[in-house]
A and B are shown apart, each in its own frame.
Chain A
Amino acid sequence: MSHEKPLIKINNLAKWFPVRTGFFQAIRSSERKYVKAVDGVSFHINKGEIFGLAGESGSGKTTTGKVILRLLEPTAGNIHFKDKEITTLGKSEMKEFRRRAQIIYQDPYESLDPRMTIFDFVAEPLIVHKIGDVEKLVTDALERSELTPPQEFFYRYPHELSGGQRQRVAIARAMILNPEFIVADEPVSMLDVSIRSSILELMVKLREELGISYLYITHDLATAKQVCDRIGIMYLGKLIEEAPIDELIDEPLQPYTQALIAAVPDPDPTIEKSKAMIKGEIPNPINLPPGCRFHPRCHYAQDICRKKIPELIEVKKGHRVACHLKT
């Protein structure tokens, strides 16, 4: 991994969604309610790195990915891509940015336009950016995605392909402009288990061959372990721990991370069973608890946890934690 300036650097990124209240509620209370989906998240991704962003539902991981690409506009914070501030870019500069930063979606059944042929779908980025030699580039992209022979797929429609094939098409489209950064939003969670490995293998291979960096968003720590270099754990809109993948799994510091890892079942039946170390479930993101968002479920919660939000601090090299008890 390079130790130069990072490829992507986000700082205090926030995305708040206003909650629609009824007419009478709006008159009664002057306070606007928000779902603070992403609330002050900062991290960086190096060139050629696969950075994982993991969390359960409501953690804000997918929203973070979309905001980085400005598919959703940030409420606050900065996004730097190779030194350029993305949040203030104008239309034509954004178009340039989009050549270099792409996304792969979770649902292979919904991310392909049902009315477009595979050829048109994969070629579209080229047409938008007016790049010539469309047929050759599409052929190359499909081949790199291991859809061979590519011509077989040109005139097919999405509904004729399997989930795994569709995801490969999505990858081909994301790759065709030779991006430097890809946000992969749970790219294999909706695929059959025996197909997942091959898609992940493809993604890693493309990283090796083309030096692409990934933001790998997932709720599945086991696949994260397979592909990520570093990983961040999110809970209710905040980044609560960040470390190299092996270190995070072997020595998690934040109580939530520890519980998360203990809860993951293992395919080895002789190993200790998965443990539910914490009770309850993720609370309603509209009414967040004060202080540390995890404190209501945390066995170690102290007074300070109820009052003050912990900062994300580096306690070991490359290992950051947001917890009053560990810092």
Chain B
Amino acid sequence: MSMSRFTLYKKRLKNFFTQFIESKSGVIGLFILLFFVFISVFANYLSDYPIKATQGDLTARFKPPSMKHWLGTDDVGRDLLTLIMYGGRISLLIGFMAAAISGGIGTAVGLLAGYFGGWKEEILMRVTDIILVIPGLPLMIVLAAVLGTSFWNIIFVISIIGWTGTARVVRAQVLSLKERPFIESVKAIGAGDGRIIGLHLLPNVFPLIVAQMVLRIGISILSEASLSFLGLGDPMSVSWGMILHWAFSTGALSSNYWWFIIPPGICITLVALGFTFVGYALDQVVNPRIRRR
């Protein structure tokens, strides 16, 4: 009985989900993420309050939580709950994009280093090592200060630091795949390097990359929050880190305006945790070493 390709993909997807669900933390993480994605995407439907700084209600500054403002207001009278909902957009967006870019760079570096070996590998891996050795946050701070603070610069800064982990993991996997006969067999039929790398190594490394990238999103969000908090974020955009920055710079901390500080902090933590849980659960499912056959 033969199956069409579509039925096969459906079956594979089903197998994947069955295995994924076995990880309780993965499921919890998934729900957390779905929640935050939902409120971010539908922020404008869920809230009527404006977020532009100029539209703040200066008569209602620093108000604690009330029925009117569930999470209180900020230093210019904006509804904090609304800010947090919109803030999710920026944080998640930056997180995704930085993770995607660093995933791309890391994969490319790992594939090329692992496949070619020799001096090419040496150079690539030494560059990786150098970046790994330099402390991440200080380096990001320096770069952000030098390049200027804009939406794209932040993404660039985070990506340029974040690809090294993926590169190492991918290279290790490529090295082990190279030894397996089915990869050598592609060379034996006359295929060139491009085909081997793109059509054979990459699909076999892909699940690992996805797991890595998901973890990386969480880390990127934390990085963005750190940079924004330190004042190096895009001042035009509302991200959770920026909210914390405003909280700090307007003295909310010393005045004990907890609703300004704690909610954004919790959001950052929960989202990072969510991605970590999902990332680890994915790793359990796709990692050929851990996976149960």
Contacts and interface: CB of A to CB of B under 8 A. Distances in A.
Q: Is chain B in direct contact with chain A in the complex (CB below 8 A)?
A: yes
Most B C-beta atoms less than 10 A away, residue of A69, A115, A170 = A115
A4 B192 CA distance: 34
Contacts of A156: 2-3
B182 A112 contact: yes
B3 to A, nearest CB: 5
Given A98-B188, A128-B191, A110 B2 contact: no
B194 to A, nearest CB: 11
Interface string B69-108: 0000000000000000000000000000000000000000
Chain B interface SS verdict (over half)? helix
B188 A71 contact: yes
Nearest to A149: B2
B195 A103 contact: no
B189 A111 contact: no
B182 A155 contact: no
Interface residues of A, number: 33
Contacts of A91: 192
Contacts of A99: 190
Nearest to B7: A155
Contact of B189 (A102, A107, A110, A155): A102
A17 B204 CA distance: 28
Nearest to A107: B181
Interface residues of B, number: 22
A95 interface: yes
Contacts of A61: none
B8 interface: yes
A201 interface: no
A110 B186 contact: no
Contact of A155 (B5, B180, B184): B5
B120 interface: no
Given A111-B182, A112-B182, A115-B204, A103 B2 contact: no
Interface of B: 1-5, 8, 180-182, 184-192, 195, 200, 203-204
Given A111-B182, A111-B185, A156-B2, 17 more contacts: A69-B188, A71-B188, A91-B192, A110-B180, A110-B181, A113-B182, A113-B200, A114-B204, A115-B203, A124-B191, A125-B189, A128-B190, A151-B2, A155-B5, A155-B8, A170-B185, A173-B185
- Nearest first, the 10 closest Cβ-Cβ pairs linking A and B are A98-B190, A111-B181, A125-B189, A105-B181, A95-B190, A113-B182, A128-B191, A110-B181, A103-B188, A128-B190
24 contacts: A71-B184, A95-B190, A95-B192, A98-B189, A98-B190, A102-B189, A103-B185, A103-B188, A105-B181, A106-B181, A107-B181, A110-B180, A111-B181, A112-B182, A113-B200, A114-B182, A124-B189, A124-B191, A125-B190, A128-B189, A128-B190, A128-B191, A155-B4, A155-B8
